[in-house]
């Protein structure tokens, strides 16, 4: 038995040396369906009585786990990590760090009934045809995948060369799942540095524009975590668009929570979010650009400066990438 274990470990190391990280992750994803045991949700926070629970992994990256949807954690785990896995899906993400941590790649695997895989380095539309377990909705560069038989929705939302990930699952699936969305080793997040005074003002402009255009009232706790995430990301990157995009998404998605839980017109609700998102950018753009113009040059230690944001130019770039 010991000799077999040693040979297995040697073989695994050889495999790691021969194949890329993405291939190793794909191999692990096949194994984990039979070998990874579900991890029970944390018992210190009762699960809400909604049809869907949510987990978000966005920005730098910030984790809002299933069991604590209004508590935000800052994760600084570099390399490939398992975000979510259960009988119906496995989702891996690759986090790189330079001056900040960001999700640079992902691998999304649906094992049944016909295994299909997608990732940022491959076709983002994973499964098609009548036998597919997934219905996929594309809006610009964003993809939302709906499972046909389970209460399971996964949204992959690119932001420049990075990715923001949002997951909706039933409490039953959450109890049968493992990964960072279930159990994490990340520090609780607050405002971790004193921001430039203009940064919170910029975040508030975009977040308030999103709140005013949301389909329904937005929970104040969502506003709070969106604001914290936006301020921290903008102060660390000095990139207005990348900082406000996940914050806007969190606010608008909370506005369609009842529609998602109702199970009707879910795709229409997500389509509406994408069109409203453009309205939010345009509504806040003039005021934010005026604020920046009146504030003079605002740059960080790396000599990167806050610059005016052009939503029309960003939309054209997204279409070009598509």
Q: pLDDT tens digits for 83-137?
A: 999 999 999 999 987 657 789 999 999 887 767 788 776 666 667 777 788 888 9
Q: What size, in residues, is the chain?
A: 322
- Predicted confidence at residue 131, as pLDDT, reads 73
Does 34 score more than 70 pLDDT?
no
Instruction: Write down the mean pLDDT value for the chain.
Output: 80
Most trustworthy range by pLDDT among 19-23, 40-44, 228-232? 228-232
Q: Range with the lowest mean pLDDT among 59-63, 111-115, 196-200, 274-278? A: 111-115
- Predicted confidence at residue 194, as pLDDT, reads 84
**Percent helix / strand / coil, the chain, rounded to 5:** 40, 25, 35
List, in order, residues 6 or more apart from 18 with CB less than 8 Å away: none
- Predicted confidence at residue 77, as pLDDT, reads 87
What is the rounded distance in angstroms from the CA atom of residue 172 to the CA atom of residue 136? Answer: 23
Backbone angles phi, psi at 213, to 5 degrees: -105, 5
Contact criterion met (CB below 8 Å) for 126 and 241: no
- Predicted confidence at residue 124, as pLDDT, reads 65
Question: H or E stretch including 202?
Answer: helix 198-213
- Predicted confidence at residue 206, as pLDDT, reads 97
The pair of structure tokens assigned to 270 is 């997500």
- Predicted confidence at residue 319, as pLDDT, reads 34
- Strand bridging mode 62-64 / 53-58: antiparallel
Opening angle at CA 309, ends 303 and 312, nearest 5: 145
Higher-confidence residue of 282 and 3: namely 282
222: left (phi over 0), alpha (psi -120 to 50) or beta: alpha
Contact criterion met (CB below 8 Å) for 251 and 226: yes
Higher-confidence residue of 146 and 319: namely 146
pLDDT digits (tens, 9 = 90+) for 122-165: 666 667 777 788 888 988 888 999 998 999 999 999 887 789 99
pLDDT digits (tens, 9 = 90+) for 211-253: 999 999 999 999 999 999 999 999 988 889 889 999 999 999 9
Does 35 score more than 70 pLDDT?
no
What is the rounded distance in angstroms from the CA atom of residue 168 to the CA atom of residue 263? Answer: 12
Q: Is 140 exposed, middle or buried (0-12, 13-18, 19+ CB in 10 A)?
A: middle
Does 29 score more than 50 pLDDT?
no
- Predicted confidence at residue 99, as pLDDT, reads 59
């Amino acid at each position: 038995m010991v000799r077999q274990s040693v040979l297995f470990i040697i073989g695994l190391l050889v495999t790691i040396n021969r194949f890329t990280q993405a291939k190793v992750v794909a191999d692990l994803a096949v194994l984990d369906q039979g070998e990874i045991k579900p991890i029970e949700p944390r018992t210190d926070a009762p699960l809400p009585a909604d049809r869907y629970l949510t987990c978000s992994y966005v920005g730098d990256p910030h984790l809002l786990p299933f069991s604590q949807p209004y508590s935000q954690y800052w994760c600084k785990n570099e390399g490939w990590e398992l975000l979510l896995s259960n009988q119906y899906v496995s989702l891996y993400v690759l986090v790189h760090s330079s001056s900040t941590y960001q999700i640079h790649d992902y691998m999304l695997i649906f094992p049944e009934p016909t295994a299909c895989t997608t990732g940022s380095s491959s076709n983002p539309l994973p499964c098609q045809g009548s036998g597919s377990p997934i219905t996929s909705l594309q809006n610009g560069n964003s993809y939302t995948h709906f499972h046909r038989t389970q209460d399971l929705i996964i949204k992959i939302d690119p932001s420049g060369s990075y990715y923001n990930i949002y997951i909706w699952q039933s409490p039953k699936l959450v109890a049968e799942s493992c990964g960072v969305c279930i159990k994490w080793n990340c520090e609780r997040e607050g405002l971790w540095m004193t921001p430039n005074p203009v940064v919170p003002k910029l975040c508030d402009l975009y977040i308030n524009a999103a709140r005013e255009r949301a389909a329904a009232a937005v929970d104040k706790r969502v506003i709070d975590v969106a604001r914290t995430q936006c301020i921290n990301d903008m102060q660390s990157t000095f990139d207005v668009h990348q900082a406000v995009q996940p914050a806007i998404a969190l606010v608008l998605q909370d506005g369609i929570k009842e529609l998602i839980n109702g199970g009707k017109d879910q795709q229409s609700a997500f389509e509406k979010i994408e069109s409203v998102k453009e309205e939010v950018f345009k509504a806040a753009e003039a005021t934010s650009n005026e604020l920046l113009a009146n504030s003079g040059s605002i740059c960080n230690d790396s000599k990167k400066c806050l610059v005016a944001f052009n939503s029309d130019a960003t939309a054209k770039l997204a279409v070009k990438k598509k």
